[in-house]
């Protein structure tokens, strides 16, 4: 017996059901029922990114649980031309808000300048897992953004 084919109508109905959660407005709402608690964390990080939207720095997104701050200045790094550089972003994930901070990735010595509480949240090369609303962590993110912005400005990347 030949395999039966699923009609596109059934697939699209199923997709609609899995990809939508009522009331959260988060793109990745299907990952976790606990995501509404992450929205204030995301909003706070987004507020911290807004002051850096100036000159070549552009803030993209901001809804659907994702926002990114990008430098649109063309630069050459290690002999490779880049039309844009991602500076920082935030993304609501399953059980945390991912705060991606590229100055840590671009220069590992930046880690030495980040406070221990925020550094404990680093779970990769540049991703900080922010799991709870903590004003001390937000203050340290603000300091890190300021330090990273100054560093990239000195290098001529902004």
Is residue 36 scored above 90 in pLDDT?
no
Kindly tell me if the per-residue pLDDT of 34 is higher than 70. no
Instruction: For the chain, list the domains and their CATH numbers.
Output: 25-153 (3.90.1150)
State the Cα–Cα distance between residues 113 and 104, nearest whole angstrom. Answer: 10
How confident is the model at residue 27, as a pLDDT? 57
| pTM as predicted | 0.77
Q: What is the rounded CA–CA span in Å between residue 52 and residue 21?
A: 32
Q: Are 90 and 98 in contact (CB under 8 A)?
A: yes
Residue 19: pLDDT above 50?
A: no
Give percent of the chain above pLDDT 90.
58
CA-based nearest residue to 61, from 31, 26, 104, 96 = 26
Report which of residues 23 and 44 the model is more confident about: 44
For the ranges 8-22, 76-90, 115-129, the one whose mean pLDDT is highest = 115-129
Q: Is the pLDDT of residue 10 over 60?
A: no
Residue 4 buriedness (CB in 10 A; 0-12 / 13-18 / 19+): exposed
What distance in Å separates the CA atoms of residue 49 and residue 61, rounded to the nearest whole number? 12
Average pLDDT, the chain: 82
Q: What is the mean pLDDT of residues 17-34?
A: 49
Treating both helix axes as pointing N-terminal to C-terminal, what angle do 39-49 and 135-154 enclose, rounded to 10 degrees?
A: 30
| Measured distance between the N- and C-terminal CA atoms of the chain, rounded to whole angstroms | 62
Q: For residue 26, what is the DSSP state?
A: B
**Residue 15 in this model has a pLDDT that exceeds 50:** no
User: Using 50, 70 and 90 to split pLDDT, how confident is the model at 13?
Assistant: very low
How much is the pLDDT for 29? 46
Q: Which of 154, 153, 110 is nearest to 128 (CA)?
A: 110
pLDDT of 18 > 70? The answer is no
pLDDT exceeds cutoff 70 at 44 = yes
């Amino acid at each position: 017996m030949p395999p039966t084919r699923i009609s596109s109508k059934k697939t699209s109905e199923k997709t609609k059901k899995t990809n939508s959660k009522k009331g959260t407005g988060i793109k990745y709402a299907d990952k976790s029922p606990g995501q509404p608690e992450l929205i204030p964390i995301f909003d706070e990080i987004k507020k911290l990114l807004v002051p850096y939207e100036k000159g070549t720095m552009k803030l993209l997104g901001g809804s659907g649980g994702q926002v990114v701050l990008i430098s649109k200045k063309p630069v050459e790094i290690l002999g490779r031309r880049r039309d844009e550089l991602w500076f920082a972003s935030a993304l609501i994930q399953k059980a945390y808000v991912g705060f991606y901070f590229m100055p840590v990735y671009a220069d590992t010595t930046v880690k030495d300048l980040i406070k221990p509480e925020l550094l404990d949240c680093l779970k990769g090369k540049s991703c900080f897992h922010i799991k709870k609303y903590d004003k001390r962590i937000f203050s340290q993110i603000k300091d890190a953004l300021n330090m990273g912005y100054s560093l990239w400005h000195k290098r001529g990347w902004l």
